[in-house]
Structure formats: C-alpha cells, structure tokens
Amino acid sequence: MEENLSRRLLQLEGGINFRDMGGYPTADGRQVKWGKLYRSGSMARLTPADAAQLVNLGIRCVVDFRSVREQKRDPNRWCAEAGVTYWSRDHQEVFGQLHTMAERGIDSEEQAMEIMAEGFRHLPFQQAPAYAELIRRIADGHVPIAFNCTAGKDRTGGAAALVLSVLGVPRDIVVADFTLTEKAVNLRTAFGACPQDAKSPYAGLSEAVMDALAGARPAYISAFLDSIAERCGSAEGYLAEIGVPADAAQAVRAQLLE
C-alpha cells in the first residue's frame, strides 16, 4: 500500500491529497482500474499547469462534498475553465460539527477520537445526497471522475470507502486507503485549524487532541463502515436506502473494474 503512494499521489503544485485509487484488488480476483477514480482535497489552489495535467488525464467530472461556505471561500475554478462537469450541492453541513465541539472544549485524545468516530458513524447519512450522486455519476459512465472535500480525509474518505466497498475491495484494504492520507498530506495544514490563533475555535486545544482531530485513524473509517453494516446490512443495502437504482452497483463495477 504505502510503497504505491508515489504512483497514487499526483504531483500537483497546488493539489491537496490528489490520489489515483486504481490497483486495489477485489475479493473476486479483479482490480480497480488505474486512471478512472480519483480522491482529493480542495482543488481551489490548482495552478494552470495542474489543470492541464488533470485535463490530460481525461477527468470528465468532479463531485465536491464541501459546504456552500467552503465553496465560496475557496471556489473550484478549473472545472469551468476546462469544460469539466462540476457538481456540488447547497448545504451547510460540516463534518461532525467539529467547530462547535472544539469551542466547548475537548479534554483528551480519547475524547477527540470518540468525537471523530461518532462523526464518521453519522457521515454516510449526513452526506447521503452527495454520495448517491457520486455513485449515479460513476454508474452512468462519467469517468474518469474525481471527488473531494477540503482536506480529502473525512467526507472524501467516506466516499472512497463506500465506492471501494461497492467494488468488493476487502475491508482491510479499504481501511488502509483511508489511513494512507496521513502519508499523502500534512493533515494539520490541510485541516486548516490553528490552536495558536486566539480567534480559532481550536484555540488552546492540546497537540494530542489536534492530532486526533486531524488524523486519519483506522477507528474512524471503521466506524463509518460499521454504521452502514448495522443500519443497512451492506454497501448495496446502503445504496438502496439512499435511493440509488438497484442496478447501479453492477454498473459501477463494470465501469471501474478489470
């Protein structure tokens, strides 16, 4: 996994955690195609050279999980300039309400990890409209496709875990793809939270707490996967619950597996 990071991580001047999800094996002996599925953080700072590189990769569609506030603060401009389909939705949801929890105070690393795990348990249903759209776009052949949030960790990590699960990638590899983010990007920087800034809701939090909030730990994505299993039985059961057509999972596999 880790040795493949150099192949997965696109070298972009203004990119954040922009990774190719190809090459992962499935339980039935196939593998995810390279160059078809990408996960990323914010694309707001991509340079013209970066945009040209993504155009050369043939990316047809970008699905953005960020809130309206995030989109306005750091707009994605390259898609319109390059003629790439861009989808986002009008919502104000922030993962796990971290700002609110931080303002109330987080006393320990253990408490921070519990908050993150709880956020990941809610994530499949909080982001259901966006995750449904991503699956529909892939099933309809809008590939190569990229999806993103701000750091490319939480909302994007959930989406990546969902797609890989639909494809039949074993759980241990799904978890490893999530934790690979810690090798792919400086999460404290990408997270954008500065505990030294007196105006920040994270002001005064300990280094251990900040590391837990910014981290990509196995327990977080495990909570996401467990939540789907407990409520829906399987990834395909989840797709049915969020209104994705019954044949979408098979169509996604046809698009992304070889």
The mean of the pLDDT values for the chain is 91
Mean per-residue pLDDT for 198-206? 66
Q: What is the pLDDT of residue 94?
A: 67
pTM: 0.92
Identify the bridge partners of residue 61 per DSSP, sorted by sequence position.
85, 145
CA pair distance 220, 111, nearest whole angstrom: 13
- β-bridge partners, 40: 148
Sketch out the chain's domains with CATH numbers.
2-256 (3.90.190.10)
Whether 66 contacts 83, CB under 8 Å? no
CB 139 within 8 A of CB 149: no
Largest CA distance in the chain: 53
Q: Where are the beta strands (DSSP E) in the chain?
A: 19-20, 37-40, 61-64, 85-87, 145-148
One-letter amino acid identity for 75? P
Angle (nearest 5°) at CA 178 between 147 and 105: 95
Q: What is the mean pLDDT of residues 56-70?
A: 96
pLDDT at 1: 53
List, for residues 140-195, the tens digit of each pLDDT value: 999 999 999 999 999 999 999 999 999 999 999 999 999 999 988 776 665 554 44
Distance CA 223, CA 212 (A): 15
- pLDDT above 70: residue 203: no
Percentage of residues in the chain having pLDDT higher than 90: 77
Closest C-alpha among 100, 106, 76, 85 to residue 207:
106
**Cβ neighbours of residue 204 closer than 8 Å, sequence gap 6 or more:** 195
Residue 59: pLDDT band (50, 70, 90) is very high
